[in-house]
A and B are shown apart, each in its own frame.
Chain A
Amino acid sequence: MTIRKLSVMITFVAVMLAVLVWCYPTNSDFKSENPSWNGARDFLDDFRVSPLSSLNALSVAPQESTLLVIPYMEFTTSDLKILENYVNSGGKLVVMDDYGFGNDILEHLKIETRFTGNQLMDTLFNYENENFPKIVNFVTEPATSEIENLVFNHATSLENAPHDNIIAWSSYFSFLDENQNGEYDEGEPEGPFPVIANFQIGKGELVLISDPSILINSMLEMGDNRRFLENIVQGQIFLDQSHLPEVPLDEAKGKLRIARNVLATVWGTLALILLVLILTLKPIWNMRKLKQRE
């Protein structure tokens, strides 16, 4: 095995892997380009949502716009300030959280309500099992217009929400699985629990939903989830993608994207062309040298 052959094989394998990583669809949760059950591509396509890779990209005037945030990564102070400005100046901020960092946003916005972080289970009103509680109690208002039930997926609940701000409750038969053993135990809080609430902040509006999964591809058509999302969004819709967990595939795709951008520059393209030329003409160069030696 010559070094030349080995290097050719390694290059071939590297290129194949790069192509594979580039073409293989991401399977990250809530990602706009993920078409599988846990992605949000259907939501983005159907609702014409603009994914945001950074909250700094929120350059559009907030009036008549909705920003959906799934806070699965910690927020920086500047991110929190952007959210505060957004909602204060008239934007509609929808925080969809279950076990993430949604409470950081609420604390920053000086809202007393919190996501409990305990799993909401319902033994009676559910889809297939208690992990998919059905929300059947609604306050009559535009957001709940024509809604009969919502199906949540491993959701949580809200606490300390003022009664007037709550727009949806879990059923009487729900409970919070505080010890995470998947069943009701004596002393665990019993429903109904608030699960959706809205607040007027500044010129804008804040909506809290205790389950972000209602917008994933597999949950969008469950119950009246789609209709509810249609009711709560307004104007231009943004989905924050910058606070979602990254998986290695995404990181690899990101690096490939950087490499592509580098190659797309003048110097990068020229270097690539030069490399291709060198590799193409090297055998001829070698032959000429051999001939000269003879």
Chain B
Amino acid sequence: MKKLTLILLILILIPAALGGGIVSGITWVPHENPSTAESRSNPAIPLIHYGEIFDQLASGNYPEATALLQQLKRMEYAHLPEEIIFTMGRYNDLTADLAGKLDDLDSTLDICEQLLSQNKLDEASTKLDEAKRLVDEATKLIETISKATEELIFQITPFASPQEATAVSEAEARLRKAMEKLAELEAWYKDKLENLDVATEEKKSLLTTTLTLNVNPSKVWVGNQVAISGELKATDIPLPARDISIFLDGKHFATITTVENGSYEASFTLPYWYISEVVAQNFYLPQGNDKSAYLASSSEIKRITTLFHSTGLSIEIPEEVYPGLPVEINGKVSSRGNVAGRSIKALLDGQPLFEIATDDHGLFKHLLMLSKGIQTGGHNLKFIVESDDEAHSAGASMNKGLNVVKVIPQMNIHVPGVIFLPRSAKFTGELYPPFSLQSVINLTGEMHSPLALKEAILTLEMAGVSTMAVIDGEEFELGLNVPFKFNIVGYEDMEASLAPVEPWHLPATCKVKIFVINLVYLVIILAAFILAGVVLLTRRRGILRKEDALYISPEKLQTPVSATEFRLPEIKLVTGDNQGIILKAYYMAVVVVQRLVRVFLKPQATLREFSSQVMPLLDRFAGLFANLTNLAEKALYSRHSLGDDEASQAQNIASQMKEQGVEKTGTENKNAGMLNTKKQTRKHE
């Protein structure tokens, strides 16, 4: 039995000790515990990626190389020593610098090339100088990076494990190859620069041209006429029939042609550009045969001050708005020009929302209703006032933050903290199936919202059952029919969920814990245990009653010993059987002794053992019982036959003990009775 218990306990404890692995099986989801993930930082990886960046640089893909580098800068080097982290940081900066320089050089040379093609020699020369400076800087950087690369390889290589050595070598080789390509690129740029230098020198032999520009008036209302004039000359020789490009604010506006004396004159309407000034500049770009004769020229810059009425806009809108609820937007357009009938467009997050016109006083009002599905949170509301060109009134715009919010209704529910079930049963006259004990839990509550709240759906849920009701007022009362399936006692969660129908409301939930006592179960269980207790008690009392029977009463001492009290061997006497007489006398004395001292002769005990147990308790019977025990032992174990005198001695002892034993017990009982009477008397007093 013990072995089986041990085996079973081991069977239980092994799965527990294995952390449930056996019970739950192995999961197949491919992810791993990050806290136990193996750290693998291959030192070759940064080298490989630097190689890739230099490849991109050498191929002229500067934006891609810069993007790669930006990412590489965000790499964490926590696993590397401080000096390498510093070196890599500087290396990154150098590489980024080189990428920037090469990119600038590339675009500068392109511009230079374009300027030369337009015979813009001065500008081309400036750009050429800039390109030369960039080439010098790039050359120095490539040289520095080459040295830094060697240093980086030297520092990183010791961190490579033997397994990573090959990868590091390959990365080194790739990086060196990329550096060689960079050197080739540098040489290519130098070649290009030299070619451009030669082309510039050639262009210096062309004739320079001058272009003048006059603007009248210098201050003008938008939409009004502006006159411009000037002349084009090549070393004081007028150049007729040449195209002059007019640029306003850097944008090509018109082209006019010079007349015979090389002059030009034109008037145009100043665009409705509501800015404080417009910059005007004219350009002459040689075309056709002029390309091989003249250099390009540009006029001085002239600034035209523009006149118009500025427009102001003020908007009033609540800080928080609710989806589905109308909100009033008030605004005012102010201007010294026209304010009446000005068109205003409103955009929500860049999307058209509404359009409205101002009244005669420049005021406008709009009742805005945001869509029910709009996301809560911050939105951008932009108002644009269109310009009124006729009245020379500028436009205006304004951005307003719009915070769309939803309100969570406040809900309180009131239920008793402790509920006895079944709480109430409705008897409606309908037939109930047996044990269809329904329990109704009633609750009251109230809900509040600063906004209109009507016909919200209230769901009450408890122990897997739910009820639903439409609530129309602020206060409500609801009953939940719960089936009879709760535990005996314990906490149950009751959840009330309010689902408002209005889009400006969010659902609200309220949870309460209720201590539920299931009386039916409790009564059944109590009854069962009481029943069991009663039966067990009855059995216990039966045992006690048997024990009580061992107490001596004078009457009982006179009666033979019952089998249940003490089962002694029955001895049938035959004439002349002295041994039997002695043993019978002994057992008779044992009965008396047992009743006097309440120590029982156990079947496995020897007569000597029993004697030694009872002797100290027997007082005056001790000697008699010792003699009788000796005689009984002789009768049992001695080889000598026992005489009649010994048999009669034994009978006498037994008779004496029986008689005196009865007297003693009677006296004790009498004394006990007197004591009780005395106690009762005192109590009455």
Where the two chains meet, the residues of A that have a C-beta atom closer than 8 Å to any C-beta of B are 1, 5-6, 9, 12-13, 16-17, 20-21, 24, 26-30, 37-38, 60-61, 63-64, 72, 90, 98-99, 119, 123-125, 127-132, 136-137, 142, 149, 151, 153-154, 171-173, 203, 213, 216, 218-219, 222, 234-236, 245, 247-250, 252, 261, 264-267, 269-270, 273, 276-277, 280-281, 284, 287
A13-B31 in contact given A64-B506, A248-B25, A270-B524 (Cβ < 8 Å): no
Q: Which residues of B contact A250 (CB under 8 A)?
A: 24
Query: Which one of A27, A90, A154 lies within 8 Å of B20 (CB-CB)?
Result: A27
Query: Does A131 lie within 8 Å of B12, measured CB to CB?
Result: no
Is B5 among interface residues, defined by CB-CB distance under 8 A?
Answer: yes
Given A123-B45, A234-B375; A153-B24 close (CB under 8 Å) = no
Given contacts A9-B8, A38-B27, A218-B34, 16 further A-B contacts (CB under 8 A): A9-B5, A24-B20, A38-B31, A63-B373, A64-B376, A127-B34, A136-B74, A154-B31, A154-B32, A173-B71, A249-B23, A249-B24, A252-B23, A264-B486, A281-B535, A284-B536
Smallest beta-carbon distance A181→chain B, Å = 15
B637 interface residue (CB < 8 Å to A):
no
Question: In the complex, what distance in Å separates the CA atom of A136 from the CA atom of B376?
Answer: 28
With A20-B16, A267-B435 known as contacts, the answer to whether A38 contacts B74 (CB < 8 A) is: no
CB distance from B525 to the nearest CB of A (A): 6
Q: Pick from B36-44, B235-243, B255-263 the stretch touching chain A.
A: B36-44
Provide the residues of chain B in CB contact with A63, threshold 8 Å: 372-373, 503
Contact B35 A29 (CB under 8 A): no
Q: Tell me the minimal C-beta distance from B481 to chain A in angstroms.
A: 16
A235 nearest CB across to chain B (Å):
7
Q: What is the interface residue range for chain B against chain A? A: 35 or more
Checking B24, B39, B45, B486 against A27 with a beta-carbon cut-off of 8 angstroms, the contacting residue is: B24
A128 in contact with B29 given A64-B506, A172-B71 (CB within 8 Å): no
Known: A124-B46, A153-B31. A16 touches B12 (CB 8 A): yes
Closest 10 CB pairs of A and B: A249-B24, A129-B40, A29-B29, A213-B31, A128-B37, A153-B31, A247-B24, A37-B33, A154-B30, A266-B435
Q: Is the CB of A60 within 8 A of B507?
A: yes
Return 8 A-B CB contacts under 8 Å, by A number.
Answer: A13-B12, A63-B372, A63-B503, A125-B74, A128-B34, A132-B37, A172-B67, A218-B33
Does B435 contact A21, Cβ atoms closer than 8 Å?
no
> What is the CB-to-nearest-CB distance from A31 to chain B, in angstroms, rounded to a whole number?
10
A218–B485 Cα distance when bound, in Å, is 39
List A contacts of B506 (CB < 8 A): 64, 235
Knowing A153-B34, A264-B487, A266-B435 are in contact, say whether A128-B503 is a contact too (CB < 8 A): no
Q: Which of B5, B11, B40 has the most CB of A within 10 A?
A: B40
Query: Does B266 touch A at the CB level, under 8 Å?
Result: no
A284-B24 contact given A9-B5, A17-B12, CB 8 Å threshold: no
**A172 and B68 form a contact (CB under 8 A):** yes
| Nearest-Cβ distance from residue B23 to partner chain A, whole angstroms | 5
Q: Is B427 an interface residue (CB 8 A)?
A: no
Determine the residue in chain B with the shortest Cβ distance to A182: B40
Is the C-beta of B75 less than 8 angstroms from some C-beta in chain A? yes
Tell me the residues in window 7-30 of chain B with beta carbons closer than 8 Å to chain A beta carbons: 8, 11-12, 15-16, 20, 23-25, 27-30
Within the complex, which residue of A12, A30, A64, A276 is in contact with B406, where a contact is CB–CB below 8 Å? A64
Q: Looking at the assembled complex, report how far the CB atom of A102 sits from the nearest CB atom of chain B, in whole angstroms.
A: 14
Among A9, A28, A287, the residue within 8 A (CB) of B24 is: A28
Determine whether the beta carbon of B507 is less than 8 Å from that of A130.
no
Partner of B37, one of A6, A129, A136: A129
Please pick, from B12, B525, B532, the residue contacting A281 in the complex, using a CB distance under 8 A.
B532
Q: Which residues of A contact B485 (CB under 8 A)?
A: 261, 264-266
Per-residue interface assignment for chain B, residues 213 to 234, with 1 indicating a CB less than 8 Å from any chain A CB and 0 otherwise: 0000000000000000000000
Q: Measured between C-beta atoms, what is the minimum distance from A227 to chain B in Å? A: 16
Question: Given that A127-B37, A128-B39 are known contacts, is A249 also in contact with B4, CB under 8 Å in the complex?
Answer: no
Whether, in the assembled complex, B491 has its beta carbon less than 8 Å from a beta carbon of chain A, the answer is no
A277 touches B375 (CB 8 A): no
**Which one of A128, A142, A267, A273 contacts B525 once the chains associate, using CB atoms below 8 Å?**
A273
Which A residues are CB-close (under 8 A) to B35?
Answer: 37, 218
- B27 nearest CB across to chain A (Å): 5
> Do B15 and A20 touch across chains, with their CB atoms under 8 A apart?
yes
Contact B74 A29 (CB under 8 A): no
A124/B49 in contact, CB under 8 A:
yes
Complex Cα gap A245–B506 (Å): 34
The residues of B that contact A27 with a CB separation of less than 8 Å are: 20, 24, 27
Contact residues in A for B377 (Cβ distance below 8 Å): 142
Q: Are A60 and B499 in contact (CB under 8 A)?
A: yes
Knowing A123-B45, A128-B38, A129-B38 touch, does A203 contact B373 (C-beta < 8 A)?
A: yes
Chain B residues lying within 8 Å of A129, measured Cβ to Cβ, are 37-40
List the B side residues contacting A216 at CB < 8 Å: 31
A277–B531 Cα distance when bound, in Å, is 9
Pair B11/A13 contact, Cβ less than 8 Å = yes
CB of A275 to closest CB in B, whole Å: 11
Task: Give, as a whole number of angstroms, the nearest-CB distance from B468 to chain A.
Answer: 10
Chain A residues contacting B391 (CB-CB under 8 Å) are none
